A = this chain, B = another copy of it.
Amino acid sequence: MSEQERRIPEATVARLPVYLRCLVELADERTPTISSERLADMAGVNAAKVRKDLSYLGSYGTRGVGYDVEFLLYQMSRELGLTQDWPVVVAGVGNLGQALANYGGFTDRGFPVGALVDVDPDKVGTSIAGVIVRHLDELPELVASKGIAIGIIATPPTAAQSVAEKMVEAGIGSILNFSPSVLGLDPEVSVRKVDLAVELQILSFYRRRADGPASLGPDGPQR
């Protein structure tokens, strides 16, 4: 990397996890190299975009051979900060919070659930997926002692803003918001909002097209 890190466009960043998932599959199958065309197919984007995206990581592949899967996987993991663990705290252990705490996919991917917090006295002290639920007020100590990097909000919408503020006060700089509310926070805090209805809207787009008189055939996304 040169003296200044390149600015990677946000849209490229959003595609990196998709490439990563493809590369993990390829590495599992012991595929040594991959062409930009095949990676593009797997990721559901076009090959020119794959080449452009990977060039931001400093990866250019070898003409006629493609990219080395293991090396690209390493580069991608490093770029995504996945060569280290980022413990998360889940705030709110209703059904969604419990589902997230039990979701094996987080730990596997380097995001172990380091802490769970709630304000309900019936929940504080119980154990979910091996983690004891603590009171929200203990957040600052938990962040410090467990090295929490990311806060996940799974509270009712009415509590989301105050919980987010408590996370920021406790030193958390990255928040994943599952509640339907929009958070107003210092712009230095990275916030991503997960909207579970978005994927349904995308499906309904393809569904409507398929039902319509001018059907375009089976052009829905396959992954």
Q: Which residues of A contact B (CB under 8 A)?
A: 4-5, 7, 10-11, 13-14, 16-18, 20-21, 44-45, 79-82, 86, 88, 94-96, 98-100, 102-106, 108-111, 149-150, 173-176, 180, 182, 187-210, 212, 214, 216, 218-223
The 5 closest A-B pairs by CB, nearest first: A190-B220, A81-B208, A95-B99, A96-B99, A81-B204
Q: Which of A180, A199, A223 lies at the interface centre, i.e. has the most chain B CB atoms within 10 A of its CB?
A: A199
Once the chains bind, are B197 and A17 in contact (CB under 8 Å)? yes
- List chain B residues, Cβ under 8 A from A150: 200, 203-204, 207
Q: Name the prevailing secondary structure of the A interface residues.
A: mixed
Q: Measured between alpha carbons, how far is A188 from B14 in the docked complex, in Å?
A: 26
Give A189 to B207 CA distance when docked, in angstroms. Answer: 10
Measured between beta carbons, the chain B residues less than 8 angstroms from A45 are: 11
Inter-subunit contact B82/A222 (CB<8 Å): no
A50 to B35, CA, bound (A): 31
